Structure 1
Amino acid sequence: MPVTYVNIKWPDDKTDQVYSPSSVVEEYFKSGQEITVEEFLSTCNTALGEASERVRQKYGYACTSAQAESHRIHELCQTYDHSKKIKIVSIK
């Protein structure tokens, strides 16, 4: 399960990196994609939930880092107008 990072640019041009314990996030995000904060939050929750579940299937326990990252993203998204756009810069 390769650790994968989604590099993003918030609506205020701040950059950030979203951690995932699984490359499954590549099924949800594409480099260059622009989506609303609301859509990003929803998709992030789904992708990180699936990543955590993959860890559970392989190791027998959920990934608390994925859960913590989902919470961090939720908190950050609350500081932006949900109709503003987030850019997916790259996925590594």
Structure 2
Amino acid sequence: MPEMRFIVTWPDGQDEECYSPSLVIRDYFEEGSRYPLADFLTRSREALTIASDRVKARYGHACSLALGQLSRIEQRGRAFGDPQAEVQIKTFLL
């Protein structure tokens, strides 16, 4: 199962490297695009849940790395008060 990393730029300008055990992230985000925070969180939740489910289907257990990444994204997202603040998908790292 091909894993990937992707760099996001948060509304405060900080970059963060994120992990996915699946390339499904590319179905939910476009490199270089900006997303309102609420939309970014929804897309992240859907994509990383699918990625974890794919690991479960193949190996018999959910992907703790994907679920942990989702938890970190959601926690970081709560730090911003404006749901329209934008998050940019800076790049994909394969």
What SS does the aligned partner of 1:7 have? strand
Unpaired runs of 5+ residues, structure 1, are: none
Query: Which residue is 1:17 aligned to?
Result: 17
- Work out the CA distance in 2 between the residues paired with 1:90 and 1:64: 23
TM-score, normalisation: structure 2: 0.94
Aligned-residue offset at 1:13: 0.7
- Work out the CA distance in 2 between the residues paired with 1:73 and 1:18: 8
Check if 1:2 corresponds to 2:2. yes
Seq. identity, %: 33
Aligned-residue offset at 1:17: 1.2
Query: Which residue is 2:85 aligned to?
Result: 84
Cα root mean square deviation, aligned: 0.8
- Work out the CA distance in 2 between the residues paired with 1:13 and 1:2: 29
Aligned-residue offset at 1:18: 1.4
Amino acid at match of 2:53: E
- Work out the CA distance in 2 between the residues paired with 1:72 and 1:11: 15
TM-score, normalisation: structure 1: 0.96
Unpaired runs of 5+ residues, structure 2, are: none
Aligned-residue offset at 1:2: 1.3
> Cα deviations across residues 35-83 of structure 1 (Å, max 9, x unaligned)?
0111111100000000000001111111011111111111000011211
How many pairs align? 92
**How does 1:46-61 map onto structure 2 within 5 Å?**
46-61=46-61
